[in-house]
Structure 1
Amino acid sequence: MSDVLSVVDTLCKTPRVGWLQRGVSNAESVCEHVMLVTLLAGEIAAQLNAEGVEVDLTKVLAVAAVHDLAESILGHPGREVRDRVRWEELEEEVIKREFPHFAELFRWYRYETNFVGRVVAFADKLATLIRACRYKKLGFDTDDLIKNLYGKLSKYDDLAHILDLYVARYCPGAGL
């Protein structure tokens, strides 16, 4: 069984490397990202439920909370590392070994095997888009990332109206 305090401490001290590579000195940590994803996923699930689309809020929150747990062991490498290794397999291996009780929830997110996983995967990308827009306002060059993430998020046809709400709120003037 993992030491949860150490896991949390590690995630809260682990910066998201992509932001550092873009010159953001006080970059978002994995812990901050997980919290943002969890809150966004919860808001999205609540919105969908209000629209009559049934989504289990408790499961959405649980999946969002554990979606980056493997990074407590693997760290948060940049995109060039993730593209050169079988990152998804490494993450799943760590989850199965260190957090077996969360393995099913992680798979829902990683492979979007159900609507809960799909909502969390959407919220994960949306959180990064929102952060990229925030860093752009602070003067960092994130235009390419904003456009790339918006393109990925636009493929979630059933959540397009949700994307529009968050883009209007967090990314005005981003040219989206």
Structure 2
Amino acid sequence: MTDLLAVVDTLCKTPRVGWLQRGAWDAESVCAHSLLVTLLAGEIAARLNAEGAEINMAEVLAVAAVHDLAEAVLGHPGREVRDRLRWEELEEEIFKREFPHLAELFRWYRYETNTVGKIVAFADKLATLIRACRYKQLGYPTDDLAKALYKKLMAYDGLAHILDYYVGRYCGGVLP
């Protein structure tokens, strides 16, 4: 049985390496990122529901809360390492072994197989964009990442107005 306290402690102590590589000495932890993703996903689902969608809020929050659990075992390597590995397969293997009861939720997110997974994947990229904007405002070199994430997020159908809201709120002066 997985030691959940150890999982949480590890995630809260594991920095997101990409920020360290960009010089951010106070890099956010995987835990802080996951919490931001969960809050954003909940806000997005609530907004979509207010617009007439029927999104299951509990499922959105559950998927968002667990989307990075595998990093308690795998750590959070930089993009260049992830690109060289079969990262998605490794994460799925960890879920099957350590969190089998949550593996399906992870697959919804990883493969965006349903609306809930798409919302969480959007929120995950949005959380990274927001953090890139914050780090840019603090003087760290994140322009390229912010622009690339913005472009990826623009490709999500029906969510441009939500993206515009968060960019306006958190990325003023960083993105056009």
Q: TM-score, normalised by structure 2?
A: 0.99
Task: Please give the secondary structure, in 2, of the residue aligned with 1:158.
Answer: coil
**CA distances 1:13-55 after superposition (whole Å, capped 9, x unpaired):** 0000000000000100000000000000000000000000111
Which residue matches 1:27? Answer: 27
Instruction: Determine if the alignment matches structure 1 residue 73 to structure 2 residue 87.
Output: no
Which residue matches 2:51? Answer: 51
Which residue matches 1:148? Answer: 148
- Output the CA distance in 2 between the equivalents of 1:131 and 1:175: 13
Which residue matches 1:61? Answer: 61
Instruction: Determine if the alignment matches structure 1 residue 159 to structure 2 residue 150.
Output: no
- Output the CA distance in 2 between the equivalents of 1:175 and 1:78: 24
**CA distances 1:74-104 after superposition (whole Å, capped 9, x unpaired):** 0000000000000000000000000000000
**CA distances 1:55-85 after superposition (whole Å, capped 9, x unpaired):** 1000000000000000000000000000000
Which residue matches 1:114? Answer: 114
Task: Please give the secondary structure, in 1, of the residue aligned with 2:58.
Answer: helix
Superposed counterparts of 1:64-103, under 5 Å: 64-103=64-103
1:175 CA displacement: 3.0
Does the Cα contact within 8 Å between 2:73 and 2:94 map onto a contact in 1?
A: yes
Q: TM-score, normalised by structure 1?
A: 0.99
CA RMSD of aligned residues (A): 0.5
Count residues with an aligned counterpart.
176
Which residue matches 1:12? Answer: 12
Task: Please give the secondary structure, in 2, of the residue aligned with 1:23.
Answer: coil
Q: Which runs of 5+ in 1 are unaligned?
A: none
Q: Percent identity?
A: 77
